[in-house]
Amino acid sequence: MQRDAKGQYLFDLLCHHLNLLEKDYFGIRFVDPDKQRHWLEFTKSVVKQLRSQPPFTMCFRVKFYPADPAALKEEITRYLVFLQIKRDLYHGRLLCKTSDAALLAAYILQEAEIGDYDPGKHPEGYSSKFQFFPKHSEKLERKIAEIHRTELSGQTPATSELNFLRKAQTLETYGVDPHPCKDVSGNAAFLAFTPFGFVVLQGNKRVHFIKWNEVTKLKFEGKTFYLYVSQKEEKKIILTYFAPTPEACKHLWKCGIENQAFYKLEKSSQVRTVSSSNLFFKGSRFRYSGRVAKEVMESSAQIKREPPEIHSLRAGMVPSRSCPSITHGPRLSSVPRTRRRAVHISIMEGVPLRKAPDRCAPQPPGSHLWARQSAGAPPREHSGRADSNERVAVIADEAYSPADSMLPTPVAEHSLELMLLSRQINGATCSIEEEKESEASTPTAADVEALGGELRALCQGHGRPEEEQVNKFVLSVLRLLLVTMGLLFVLLLLLIILTESDLDIAFFRDIRQTPEFEQFHYQYFCPLRRWFACKIRSVVSLLIDT
């Protein structure tokens, strides 16, 4: 990969590796040295966007949630969206009642974890070994096991996945990727963009929901974010919120621009460059570069290939039970945990990888993923449960507050994680672990090696960010000097033409006849010309004498 390779090249490379055609719903996200999240822009160089020193992490995850995930054309796309929503549920971004939470967790058990209930293999309390939410209660765990045992027996993974997506889509916070802010009164809030519009969450309530066709303008200045709304009867509203930093506010603004373009517009040709500035002040300019939702759906309807085999993907999703959490007891997360390496690109959980030795305990032969806590996972209670004396169920409309669980962890990315692990870049090669052989329709080990070679070239071309920043500053200063000197030269040339030439052009003649120009010519220019002529004659005579 060339040093100036664009983000689109890397994105296409990853989608090819995953055998994914309906790729417009996904994106690549990373965290900069200031702990600010960014989406990788496909029209810009990858190296220039990654300002941090290696090691660094990029995460492949859902960027635009489908308005109807059950209507996606291919099962592999539905499966990847399922993994993302399951992750949202685990991190508390998908809020729901206790009954809905139990049903969603039962679908996850049926689809990905254990399949049909078997009395011989699943003793009482078997659902407590998995963690589907930030906190559990014993009552919720019993409800999950009851639904899984009595209502879902015989459902195939694809059917359970489809039912899970249909249920999740009906929830108010489906598709929410929260941005922490404060309102004008200083109250904490979370702003988010969904397939249906803009939402504001405070506590456990959705206080604002604005459809995309009512949003007329998005704007930011420093830390302040403005949303201009035009509702019925020509009623206009301006919602104002304050982000933690200017960088966070700009990220919020860019996410809003992209989501509005994707869900609202009919064609990508209608996309326009948007500026955050006023008329006389320079601001940020941004343009969404992808296709819109309607075009993506039309393109998906034309897919004619044989559906890719994803049985191996589902098989690789079962977490290892040989390495329980040392601190928090034997509970396992239904989200595969990632090992910390020098460099890794997290893509999607569930694709089987070549098994690596675990320092905690030996892996069983059939295990491909490790049940270790992801850096992006929120801290859990020691027991993982709500106190039995408490009357409040954690996952419930009445009590569940997103203030803790919905806040995006700044250090690591909340994403679905298939580990494509790279090794140390500084002074060593950057490689990717080979994928275990699977069906013919899935990527082969040769594909992974090719992907590793491309990413290795990108990693080796990253360079030192400090030197790059210094070079950019020097180039900016030189560019400014050159532009200034060029403008001065043009002005001087124009002045000489006005005062010394005999060009009889109407424009020049009008300027020469103005009283101001005549005063400038006789009082300033002529004396200055005589002074320069005298100095030049003195220098010439001095040279002749010597």
* Topology of the domain covering 179-300: PH-domain like (2.30.29)
Q: Are 40 and 27 in contact (CB under 8 A)?
A: yes
pLDDT for 453 equals 57
Q: Could you tell me which residues are beta bridge partners of residue 347?
A: none
Question: How far is CA 452 from each of CA 6, 239, 460, 546, rounded to the nearest angstrom?
Answer: 17, 46, 12, 72
Number of other residues whose CB lies within 10 A of the CB of residue 401: 15
How confident is the chain (546 residues) per 10-residue block, as mean pLDDT? 80 92 95 90 88 77 94 92 94 90 92 79 83 87 90 87 94 93 94 95 89 92 92 83 94 95 92 73 78 93 86 55 32 38 41 34 32 34 39 32 36 35 32 32 48 54 59 86 92 83 79 83 85 90 86
What's the token pair of residue 405? Answer: 């669980």
pLDDT for 39 equals 95
The 3 state secondary structure assigned to 145-171 is HHHHHHCCCCCCHHHHHHHHHHHHHCC
Secondary structure letter of residue 387 according to DSSP: -
Q: What share of the chain is helix, strand, coil (3-state, %, to 5)?
A: 40, 15, 45
Q: Which amino acid is at 205?
A: K
Domain extents in the chain: 7-174, 179-300, 486-545
Q: Tell me which H or E stretch contains 510.
A: helix 506-512
pLDDT for 343 equals 35
Give the right CATH number for 7-174 from 1.20.80.10, 3.90.650.10, 1.20.1530.20, 2.60.40.10.
Answer: 1.20.80.10
Q: Evaluate whether 7-174 and 179-300 have a shared fold.
A: no
Q: Which phi and psi (to 5°) does residue 197 adopt?
A: 160, -165
